[in-house]
Amino acid sequence: MSDDLKIPEGMADDRGSTLDEEAKATDRFVDDLAAALGAVERGDVAKTVSFRDGRTAALFNALGENDNELQQAVEDARAAAGVDDDSEGDRSELLRLLVRLGLNEVTPRLADAEKQARMQRIEDDY
């Protein structure tokens, strides 16, 4: 119990309030995400993602022509993601894994929210 601690003034503001606000904002985001997952499942929202970037387009175009490079990259991405799979990979899987890894490494907060949203969906199903 922290109630019986004496807390320096400078530290008192750091507790509770800001974290609570953050937590509420996160909860809302998780709710929206869970709803979006539902929309995708029902087919109301497309399952594809596209974005405009010439360099990435060139890279993936060349990977399409060079299967060795592609398979090596898929293998590295699977290893990094801890996926045990020896089957042949494709460009879509590579992109998917890279985005996943990026989410986990760079924005763990988003990855976490997504996990929570999926849990919430599962719970809502019962």
Contact residues toward other proteins (CB under 8 A) are 1-2, 5-11, 14-16, 18-19, 22, 76, 79-82, 101, 104-106, 108-109, 112
CA-nearest of 103, 121, 125, 123 to 33 is 121
Measured from the CB atom, is 6 or 47 closer to other proteins? 6
Q: In angstroms, give the least distance from the CB of 83 to other proteins.
A: 10
CB of 2 to other proteins, least distance (A): 4
Give the position of tokens 């990094």. Answer: 80
Closest distance of CB 80 from other proteins, Å: 6
Alpha-carbon gap, residue 90 to 64, rounded angstroms: 8
Cβ-based nearer residue to other proteins, 41 or 76: 76
We find the least distance from the C-beta atom of residue 82 to other proteins, in angstroms, to be 5
End-to-end CA distance of the chain: 36
Q: Which of 48, 64, 53, 42 is nearest to 96 (CA)?
A: 48
Q: Mark out the alpha helices in the chain (DSSP H runs).
A: 9-12, 17-42, 54-65, 67-81, 91-106, 108-124
Nearer to other proteins, 41 or 105 (CB): 105
| Residue number with CB closer to other proteins (71 or 104) | 104
